[in-house]
C-alpha cells in the first residue's frame, strides 16, 4: 500500500469501497446524516431494523447505486463502544482486510470517526486500521501452476476524517509498517525449506541491512569453527547446507550501551536428527525458523521507524539433518561459552543453537536479552496454540516487556523456572549440562537451558512453537505463519530507552 490520501467529506471520496464502523453506542449515530447524499434517512432506519448489524465484528456488505464512484460499503459492527478494546478493533480490521481480499478490491476508504469509541481515539483507530487491514489481506504465496487467480494489492487508501488528517495519516502509516513486517516474516516462515536455506536467510538479512543501514556480519562454517561454536556446529554436522550466524546492529545512540538483543532460532528444517521425528511430527518443521523471522521482522520495523534504542539481532541458522556425519545422542559437545553439554536428544537442537547465539550476543555487548524460538511442543501442551510461553530471570525487565504485549495484543504467559529445574538441566555424569532432562514440563527445560547462557544478564525467553503458526484461519490472517512476536519485539524496543 503506497498512497494514503486524506479526505474531509464523503462527497469527495473516489474509492470504490468505503469502510464504516457501526457501534451500538448512540454518539456515533448522530453522524449518519452525513450520508444523506447517498442514502437519505434510510440508513439509520436500516441500522435500527437490524439490516446492518452493529454486533461486534459482524460485517455487512451493501451495494451502493449512486452516480459517484462508490460501489459498496462495508459496515463493521463494533458492539458496545465502552467495552470495545483495541484488540477487538484490530481484529475487526483484520476481517475487513479478508473481505477486501475476497472482493479483490485494491482501493478503499476508511471513515475514521465512525470507529471512535469512548476509549479509542481517532489516531489509534488509524493505527489499528493500518495494521489490521493488511494483516487480514495477507495471502500465503503458493506454487500452483494451474491457478488463474488475479493478484490484487492494497495500493490506494483514502482516510476520511474531520479531525487531524496529518496525524491520522502518520499513524495509519506506522500501522502499515508493522503489518508489512509481519507479512514479510510470514513469507519467510511459509517458504518451503528447499527455498529457504541458512544461506538464503543470511542473504535476506544482508538485504535488510542494506535497506536500513544496519551493520551486518555473517559468519560461515569455517568462522564458526574458528570461534568454537560447538552448539550450532554440532546441530549442523549432518547437513550438506552450511550454517550461518547472522548479526545485525542498529545503533541509535552515540555510545553502544544499554544494548537490547533479540536472539532468534533459525532452524530452517528440523528432522529431529537421529532422535528422528515421527512422520506426522516432521511435516511443518520448515517453520522452525519462526524465531529468526520474528527477529528479522522486528528489525524491519526498527529500520523503518528508527527508535532511540540500541538493538543487536543475532540469529543462529542451520538445519537439523541425519547423515553419517550427524551428531548423535551420547555426544558431548563444547559450546562457544566453554560449557560442555551431554546430548541426550538430537531433537532438542534449538537450545544448542540458541546457547551459542546468546553467548555471542553478550559478547557483542548485549545488556538485555530476549530469545525467540519455536522451541518445544511442550509449550503447546501447556498453553495451547494461541499463547506464547515465557521464562525470565528478571522481574522488572519482564514486567516492562508485558506492557508491550498489551499494546500489541499478543498474548504471553510466563512459566516458572525454579532452582530444582536448573538442577535438572545441570545434571549430567559427562558434562556441565544435558540438553533433555525429561518430558515433564519440558518447555521449562528448553528455555531454562538457554537461560544457562544468559547467566546474570536480564533475559526473557519466548517459546512461540504454538503461536508461530495457525492451524486454521483467524481474524488477523490465514492458516499458516502468523508473524508472532514481530510487532511486540518492535513495540518493546520503541517504548523503552
For residue 79, what are the β-bridge partners? 23
Query: Segment near Zn ion (CB under 5 A), from 76-84, 131-139, 252-260, 264-272?
Result: 264-272
Q: To which residue does cell 476481517 refer?
A: 95
CB of 448 to Zn ion, least distance (A): 16
DSSP assignment of 78-100 equals: EE-GGG--HHHHHHHHHHHHHHH
Q: Which residues are catalytic?
A: 277, 351
Task: Tell whether residue 122 is a contact of Zn ion (CB under 5 A).
Answer: no
- The answer to whether 314 touches 364, Cβ cutoff 8 Å, is yes
Query: Minimum CB separation from Zn ion for residue 318, in Å?
Result: 10
Residue 241 region, left (φ>0) first, then alpha (ψ -120 to 50), else beta? beta
Judged by beta carbon, residue 103 or residue 380, the one nearer ligand BES is 380
- CA 435, CA 330: separation in Å to the nearest integer? 11
Whose Cβ is closer to ligand BES: residue 272's or residue 297's? 272
Beta bridge partners of 266: 317
Select from 256-264, 329-337, 375-383, 392-400 the region that touches ligand BES (CB under 6 A). Answer: 375-383
Three-state DSSP at 74 gives strand
Nearest distance in Å: CB 140, ligand BES: 18
Which of 34, 180, 241, 288 binds Zn ion (CB under 5 A)? It is 288
CB 235 within 8 A of CB 265: no
**Contact between 347 and Zn ion per CB under 5 A:** yes
* Cβ at position 378, least distance to ligand BES in Å: 5
Q: Tell me whether strands 469-470 and 480-481 are parallel, antiparallel or unpaired.
A: antiparallel
Closest separation between CB of residue 413 and ligand BES, Å? 17
Q: At what angle do helices 290-305 and 165-190 cross, to 10 degrees?
A: 150
Alpha helices in 290-329 (DSSP H): 290-305
Member of 236, 436, 457, 494 binding ligand BES (CB under 6 A): 436
Query: Contact letters (x/-) for ligand BES, 383-422, by CB under 6 A?
Result: ----------------------------------------
Query: How long a stretch of residues is the chain?
Result: 497
Contact indicator for 377, 287 with CB cutoff of 8 Å: no
* Minimum distance of Zn ion from residue 102's CB (angstroms): 35
Q: Is 441 in the site for ligand BES (CB under 6 A)?
A: no
350 binds ligand BES (CB under 6 A): yes
Asked if 270 interacts with Zn ion (CB under 5 A), we say: yes
Cβ-closest residue to ligand BES? 377
| Nearer to ligand BES (CB atom), residue 241 or residue 347 | 347
Closest distance of CB 410 from Zn ion, Å: 21
Residue 376 interacts, among ligand BES, Zn ion, none and using kind-specific CB cut-offs from 5 to 8 Å, with ligand BES
Q: Using CA of residue 301, residue 303, residue 306, residue 308, what is the dihedral sign?
A: positive
Residue with the three cell numbers 552450511: 242
Is residue 189 helix, strand or coil? helix
Contact pick of 244, 309, 442, 461 for ligand BES (by CB under 6 A): 442
Question: How many CB atoms sit inside 10 A of residue 469's CB?
Answer: 21
With contacts defined by CB under 5 A, name the span among 66-74, 87-95, 232-240, 350-358 that binds Zn ion. 350-358
Instruction: Report strand pairing: 340-342 vs 433-434.
Output: parallel
Question: Distance between CA atoms of 435 and 371, rounded to whole angstroms?
Answer: 17
Residue 99 makes contact with Zn ion by CB under 5 A: no
Residue 475 touching ligand BES (CB under 6 A) = no
β-sheet with 72-79: strand ranges across? 3-7, 156-160, 107-111, 17-23, 72-79, 59-63
Sites of contact with Zn ion (CB under 5 A): 267, 270, 288, 347, 349-350
**Interacting residues toward ligand BES by CB under 6 A:** 270, 272, 288, 345, 347-350, 374-378, 436, 442, 465
Amino acid at each position: 500500500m503506497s498512497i494514503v490520501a486524506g479526505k474531509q467529506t464523503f462527497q469527495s471520496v473516489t474509492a470504490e469501497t468505503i469502510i464504516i464502523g457501526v457501534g451500538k453506542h448512540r454518539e456515533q449515530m448522530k453522524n449518519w446524516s452525513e450520508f444523506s447524499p447517498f442514502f437519505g434517512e434510510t440508513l439509520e432506519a436500516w441500522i435500527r431494523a437490524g439490516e446492518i448489524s452493529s454486533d461486534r465484528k459482524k460485517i455487512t456488505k451493501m451495494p451502493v447505486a449512486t452516480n459517484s464512484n462508490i460501489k459498496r460499503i462495508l459496515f463493521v459492527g463494533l458492539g458496545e463502544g465502552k467495552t470495545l478494546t483495541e484488540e477487538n478493533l484490530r481484529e475487526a480490521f483484520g476481517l475487513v482486510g479478508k473481505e477486501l481480499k475476497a472482493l479483490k478490491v485494491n482501493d478503499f476508504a476508511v471513515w475514521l470517526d465512525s470507529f471512535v469509541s469512548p476509549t479509542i481515539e481517532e489516531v489509534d483507530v488509524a493505527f489499528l486500521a493500518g495494521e489490521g487491514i493488511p494483516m487480514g489481506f495477507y495471502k500465503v504465496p503458493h506454487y500452483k501452476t494451474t491457478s488463474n487467480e488475479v493478484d490484487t494489492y492494497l495500493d490506494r487508501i483514502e482516510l476520511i476524517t474531520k479531525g487531524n488528517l496529518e496525524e491520522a495519516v502518520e499513524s495509519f502509516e506506522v500501522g502499515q509498517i508493522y503489518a508489512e513486517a509481519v507479512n514479510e516474516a510470514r513469507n519467510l516462515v511459509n517458504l518451503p525449506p528447499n527455498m529457504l536455506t541458512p544461506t538464503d536467510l543470511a542473504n535476506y538479512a544482508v538485504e535488510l541491512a542494506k535497506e536500513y543501514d544496519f551493520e551486518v556480519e555473517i559468519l560461515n562454517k569455517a568462522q564458526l569453527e574458528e570461534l568454537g561454536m560447538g552448539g550450532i556446529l554440532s546441530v549442523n554436522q549432518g547437513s550438506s547446507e552450511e550454517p550461518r550466524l547472522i548479526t545485525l546492529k542498529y545503533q541509535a545512540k552515540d555510545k553502544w550501551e544499554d544494548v537490547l538483543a533479540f536472539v532468534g532460532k533459525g532452524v530452517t528444517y528440523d528432522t529431529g536428527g537421529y532422535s528422528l521425528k515421527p512422520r506426522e511430527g516432521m511435516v511443518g518443521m520448515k517453520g522452525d525458523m519462526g524465531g529468526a523471522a520474528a527477529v528479522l521482522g522486528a528489525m524491519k520495523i526498527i529500520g523503518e521507524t528508527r527508535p532511540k534504542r540500541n538493538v543487536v539481532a543475532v540469529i543462529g541458522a542451520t538445519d537439523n539433518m541425519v547423515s553419517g556425519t550427524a551428531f548423535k545422542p551420547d555426544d558431548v559437545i563444547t559450546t562457544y561459552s566453554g560449557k560442555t553439554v551431554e546430548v541426550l536428544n538430537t531433537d532438542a537442537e534449538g537450545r544448542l543453537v540458541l546457547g551459542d547465539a546468546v553467548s555471542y550476543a553478550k559478547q557483542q555487548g548485549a545488556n538485555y536479552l530476549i530469545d525467540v524460538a519455536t522451541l518445544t511442543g511442550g509449550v503447546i501442551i501447556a498453553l495451547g496454540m494461541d499463547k506464547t510461553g515465557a521464562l525470565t530471570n528478571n522481574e522488572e525487565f519482564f514486567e516492562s516487556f508485558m506492557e508491550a504485549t498489551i499494546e500489541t495484543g499478543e498474548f504471553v504467559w510466563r512459566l516458572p523456572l525454579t532452582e530444582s529445574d536448573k538442577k535438572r538441566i545441570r545434571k549430567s555424569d559427562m558434562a556441565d549440562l544435558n540438553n533433555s532432562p525429561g518430558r515433564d514440563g519440558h518447555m521449562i527445560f528448553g528455555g531454562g537451558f538457554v537461560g544457562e547462557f544468559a547467566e546474570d544478564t536480564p533475559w526473557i525467553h519466548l517459546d512461540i512453537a504454538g503461536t508461530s503458526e495457525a492451524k486454521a484461519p483467524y481474524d488477523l490472517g490465514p492458516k499458516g505463519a502468523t508473524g508472532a512476536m514481530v510487532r511486540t519485539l518492535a513495540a518493546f524496543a520503541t517504548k523503552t530507552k
